[in-house]
């Protein structure tokens, strides 16, 4: 793996009905004309509890854009962007690290999210958020993270 491997992969809303990560990767590469490297399945694959989390978030929270982060680069499991605001600077980013059975913790430094800033910077470069956009780090069980996102 090189340092040019992408750090984020947008997960479209249709995944909540038909989960096809290979198709998502192919579509993302074509749509963006990826210059930062090719999305590789091994970097973005998910376990069953992560897939269930993705399907639930995409089905319930239509205003969120959900991104899978590169699992080999320590930038969390997912980043959700609240697209409610038309102004990029006002869009909040949620960097999420799912930990089965753990209570929700907001903020703090964790090794699994050591490079989340680089993943957010990739979203800044794609004109999704600004470098001044608020960012929250969320650690915990999928249902606890989802409950937080629903408030």
Sequence-ordered list of residues with C-beta below 8 angstroms from that of 111, at least 6 positions apart, any chain: 74
110 in any annotated domain:
yes
Torsion angle defined by CA atoms of residues 132, 12, 35 and 112, in that order, rounded to the nearest 10 degrees = 60
Q: State the total domains in the chain.
A: 1
Q: What pLDDT, in 10s, does the model give residues 70-110?
A: 999 999 999 999 999 999 999 999 999 999 999 999 998 88
Count CA atoms within 13 Å of residue 17 on its CB side: 2
pLDDT score, position 49 = 94
The pTM of this model reads: 0.90
Count other Cβ atoms within 10 Å, centred on residue 88: 17
Torsion angle defined by CA atoms of residues 120, 136, 138 and 70, in that order, rounded to the nearest 10 degrees = 0
Residue 30: band (very low, low, confident or very high) from pLDDT cuts 50, 70, 90: low
> Could you tell me the residue range of the domain that residue 45 belongs to?
8-149
16 in any annotated domain:
yes
What is the three-class DSSP state of 92? coil
């Amino acid at each position: 793996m090189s340092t040019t491997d992408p750090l984020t992969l947008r997960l479209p809303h249709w995944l909540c009905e038909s989960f096809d990560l290979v198709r998502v990767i192919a579509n993302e590469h074509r749509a963006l004309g990826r210059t930062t490297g090719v999305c590789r399945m091994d970097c973005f694959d998910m376990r069953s509890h992560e897939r269930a989390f993705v399907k639930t978030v995409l089905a319930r929270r239509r205003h969120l854009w959900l991104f899978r982060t590169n699992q080999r680069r320590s930038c969390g499991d997912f980043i959700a962007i609240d697209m409610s605001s038309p102004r990029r600077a006002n869009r909040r980013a949620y960097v999420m690290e799912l930990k089965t059975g753990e209570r929700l913790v907001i903020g703090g430094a964790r090794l699994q999210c050591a490079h989340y800033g680089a993943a957010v910077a990739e979203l800044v470069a794609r004109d999704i958020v600004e470098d001044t956009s608020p960012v929250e780090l969320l650690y915990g069980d999928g249902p606890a993270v989802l409950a937080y996102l629903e408030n």
